[in-house]
Structure 1
Amino acid sequence: MTDLDAGLAARIAATARQIERYCRRNEIAVAADGGIDEAAAAKVLGYAGPDALRRQAAEGVNRVPFRLLGNRRLYRILDLAREIERSYNGDG
Structure 2
Amino acid sequence: MQYTLFDDEKLQQLDRDLPPDLRDNIYARCVIDLRAQADRLATTEDPATTAAASHVIGSLAATFGANGVSEKAVAQERAAARTPVDPDFRAGVELLV
Q: In which range does the TM-score fall when normalised by the shorter chain? A: 0.3 to 0.5
**Which of the pair has the greater relative contact order for Cα pairs under 8 Å at 6+ separation?**
1
Please report the TM-score for the alignment, with normalisation by the length of structure 1. 0.35
**Greater strand proportion:** 1
